[in-house]
Amino acid sequence: MRRALLPVVVVALAVAAPAYAHHSFAAEYFEDQHITIEGELVQFEYRSPHAWVHVMAKSESGEPERYSAEWFSATRLKSQGITPETLKIGDHLILGGAPGRKAAEHRLHLKSIERPSDGWKFAGRGGPR
């Protein structure tokens, strides 16, 4: 009987691990605040558990700074029509979202993204607009 239960326990732990490992965005970001970053795309990491959009933007002092925006998973983005080819290096983007709790890290939890050159927009759960 014990040997029969071992595979069940292993599968149960494997399924529970990703749910346990997932963090709360509120632990990393000020979800009650909103900032806007405008800059040029330097990297688009289309992956799970979360995709990342990296842009070079001007800081308050006017110096170029790299900002990183945490987005949905690649699976969720794909279901909303976003592919690794949707964003291209050099695209001018406007990102909106919740700022990171550590300002020096220049991070945000991405809520909206816009590419003014062609009018492409993504706003929250509704997908591209």
Q: How confident is the model at residue 59 (pLDDT cuts 50, 70, 90)?
A: confident
The ranges assigned to domains in the chain are 24-126
Average pLDDT, the chain: 84
- Inform me whether the pLDDT recorded for 4 exceeds 80: no
- Inform me whether the pLDDT recorded for 1 exceeds 70: no
> What does residue 13 show for φ and ψ, rounded to 5 degrees?
-65, -40
Q: How confident is the model at residue 10 (pLDDT cuts 50, 70, 90)?
A: very low
pLDDT of residue 98: 96
pLDDT of residue 22: 52
The yes or no reply on domain 24-126 and CATH 3.40.50.720 is: no
**For 46-73, b where at least 16 C-beta lie within 10 A, e where not — what string?**
beeebbebbbebeeeeeeeeebbbbbbe
Q: What is the pLDDT of residues 66-106, one digit of tens each?
A: 999 999 999 999 999 999 999 999 999 999 999 999 999 99
The region that residue 17 occupies, defined by phi over 0 for left and psi between -120 and 50 for alpha, beta otherwise, is: alpha
Taking Cα atoms as reference points, which of 35, 36, 37, 55 lies closest to residue 45? Answer: 55
Taking Cα atoms as reference points, which of 111, 110, 106 lies closest to residue 67? Answer: 106
Distance between CA atoms of residues 105 and 128, nearest Å:
27
The overall pTM is greater than 0.85:
no
Q: What is the mean pLDDT of residues 19-40?
A: 81
